[in-house]
């Protein structure tokens, strides 16, 4: 299906758009700060820990060529049909490999509800959403609509939040593949993170042996249950770091880490900065 908006943008070669903000008295679930179309053949390299002191979410739909993404140490190839879903500050880097070209459309967004959802989407798909063709084309159409039509801040907010909802449903769709035992284990873990539970406890909740549970869980979720547990604890800790003034020991205990030292090492390994540095990035904007 031809995207007229995309062809208009290709004709302009490159565009960067900003949107008039909605009325200040409106508390909206999403805001769009800017967007554009780019065809990069030269240097292009961004890191989620080097993009300033305010939080933001990025959607970048690849429509030609290829790029690279390093998400918490895992490298991915970004090809047409894939969507880059990252936020900052975060330990992720995306760039143009030498000798390649990369064509994409992008939006930078924010807003409390959208940003919280975006972090969940990004964590679940590890920064790279691989969509079916219809949903990918719809995402590109939404982005190009904002870039080529006369859109005010209210329409931009509606489209951005709709994109987030669509991506959330797509990347969490494999939850539907969990059988009742695995779903019980997942729900048990999410409601007992503060209790320091481990893989043995999840296996018991699923009424499976540890080995059988671990194998089935990884097949369904794509990650070992131990790694998944750490991800959930760290995501909860990141929420607490930005949402209050609790000390590191209190946050570590509330999220099920054995002590603040172990929490700090695990957080830095995944997020690339210490918990204190992560919080400090937002002190001026909280």
Q: In the chain, which residue ranges form alpha helices assigned H by DSSP? A: 4-12, 112-125, 133-148, 153-171, 180-191, 199-206, 210-221, 225-243, 248-254, 260-271, 275-280
- Check: pTM over 0.75? Answer yes or no: no
Please enumerate in sequence order all residues whose Cβ is within 8 A of that of 45, keeping only pairs 6 or more positions apart, or say none. 93, 94, 95, 96
Structural domain span for residue 147: 4-171
Longest CA–CA span in the chain (Å) reads: 59
Decide if 234 contacts 266 (C-beta within 8 A): yes
Taking Cα atoms as reference points, which of 223, 256, 221 lies closest to residue 237? 256
226 and 182 together in one domain: yes
In a domain, 199, yes or no: yes
The percentage of residues in the chain with a pLDDT greater than 90, rounded to a whole number, is 42
As given in the structure block, the two tokens for residue 266 are 């695990």
183 and 148 together in one domain: no
166 and 203 together in one domain: no
Please tell me the predicted confidence (pLDDT) of residue 206: 93
25 and 77 together in one domain: yes
Euclidean distance between CA atoms 195 and 186, whole angstroms? 14
Taking Cα atoms as reference points, which of 171, 170, 147, 175 lies closest to residue 159? 147
89 and 10 together in one domain: yes
Which of 171, 201, 225 is the C-terminal boundary of a domain? 171
Burial bucket for residue 101 (CB in 10 Å: 0-12, 13-18, 19+): middle
CA dist 159 → 13, 146, 152, 175 (Å): 24, 8, 11, 25
Taking Cα atoms as reference points, which of 257, 259, 245, 261 lies closest to residue 194? 257
Question: Could you read off the pLDDT tens digit of each residue along the chain, which spans 286 residues?
Answer: 568 788 888 887 667 777 776 666 666 778 899 999 999 999 999 999 888 767 899 999 999 999 999 998 889 999 999 999 999 988 899 999 999 999 999 999 988 778 888 988 898 888 999 888 889 999 999 999 998 888 888 888 889 988 998 898 888 765 555 788 888 998 899 889 899 899 999 999 999 999 999 998 888 777 789 988 888 888 788 778 876 788 999 999 999 998 999 999 988 887 777 888 877 765 544 4
32 and 155 together in one domain: yes
Euclidean distance between CA atoms 35 and 108, whole angstroms? 6
In a domain, 285, yes or no: no
Domain total for the chain?
Answer: 2
128 and 203 together in one domain: no
The percentage of residues in the chain with a pLDDT greater than 70, rounded to a whole number, is 90
192 and 166 together in one domain: no
User: What pLDDT digit, counting tens, does each position of 86-141 carry?
Assistant: 999 888 999 999 999 999 999 999 887 788 889 888 988 889 998 888 899 999 99
Which of 139, 171, 203 is the C-terminal boundary of a domain? 171
CATH number of the domain encompassing residue 29? 2.60.120.10
Please tell me the predicted confidence (pLDDT) of residue 285: 41
128 and 226 together in one domain: no
Euclidean distance between CA atoms 26 and 63, whole angstroms? 34
Euclidean distance between CA atoms 204 and 181, whole angstroms? 10
Euclidean distance between CA atoms 75 and 207, whole angstroms? 35
């Amino acid at each position: 299906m031809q995207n007229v908006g995309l062809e208009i943008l290709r004709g302009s070669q490159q565009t960067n758009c900003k949107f008039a903000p909605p009325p200040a008295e409106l508390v909206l679930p999403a805001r769009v700060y800017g967007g554009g179309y780019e065809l990069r053949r030269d240097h292009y390299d961004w890191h989620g820990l080097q993009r300033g002191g305010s939080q933001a979410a990025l959607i970048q739909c690849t429509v030609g060529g290829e790029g690279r993404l390093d998400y918490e140490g895992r490298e991915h190839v970004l090809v047409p049909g894939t969507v880059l879903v990252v936020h900052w500050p975060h330990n992720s880097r995306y760039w143009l490999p030498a000798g390649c070209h990369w064509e994409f459309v992008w939006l930078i967004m924010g807003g409390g509800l959208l940003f919280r959802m975006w972090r969940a989407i990004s964590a679940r798909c590890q920064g790279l959403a691989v969509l079916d063709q219809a949903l990918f084309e719809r995402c590109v159409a939404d982005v190009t609509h904002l870039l080529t039509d006369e859109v005010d801040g209210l329409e931009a907010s509606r489209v951005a939040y709709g994109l987030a909802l669509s991506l959330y449903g797509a990347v969490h769709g494999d939850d539907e593949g969990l059988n009742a035992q695995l779903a019980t284990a997942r729900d048990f873990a999410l409601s007992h993170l503060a209790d320091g539970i481990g893989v043995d406890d999840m296996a018991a909740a699923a009424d499976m042996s540890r080995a059988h549970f671990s194998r089935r869980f990884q097949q369904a979720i794509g990650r070992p249950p131990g790694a998944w547990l750490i991800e959930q604890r760290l995501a909860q800790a990141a929420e607490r770091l930005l949402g209050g003034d609790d000390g590191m020991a209190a946050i570590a205990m509330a999220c099920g880490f054995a002590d603040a030292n172990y929490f700090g090492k695990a957080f830095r390994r995944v997020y690339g900065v210490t918990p204190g540095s992560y919080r400090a990035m937002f002190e001026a904007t909280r």
